[in-house]
Amino acid sequence: SDASELNILEDSTTYTEDECQDLLKRIHEGNKATGGLKFVTNCYGII
């Protein structure tokens, strides 16, 4: 896909807090070459 596109997929899995932290850590590690993940702000939403 084009780098300017936003692709959203539904993940029906319910994650525990530990699993969520582990997933974010893996995403960060996998993208470290381009800066990884950076905390911006806390937010809440309903989709």
How much is the pLDDT for 21?
Answer: 93
- Which residues have CB under 8 Å from 28's CB, separation 6+? 36, 37
How much is the pLDDT for 2?
Answer: 67
The boundaries of the domain holding residue 21 are: 14-38
What digits encode the pLDDT tens for the residues 1-47? 567 888 888 889 999 999 999 999 999 999 999 999 998 998 887 76
| 30 part of a folded domain | yes
What is the rounded CA–CA span in Å between residue 43 and residue 47?
A: 13
- Which residues have CB under 8 Å from 17's CB, separation 6+? none
| 47 part of a folded domain | no
Which pTM was predicted? Answer: 0.59
| 46 part of a folded domain | no
Q: Do residues 19 and 25 make contact, with C-beta atoms less than 8 angstroms apart?
A: no
| 33 part of a folded domain | yes
| 22 part of a folded domain | yes
Task: Name the token pair of 12.
Answer: 């029906």
Structural domains counted in the chain = 1
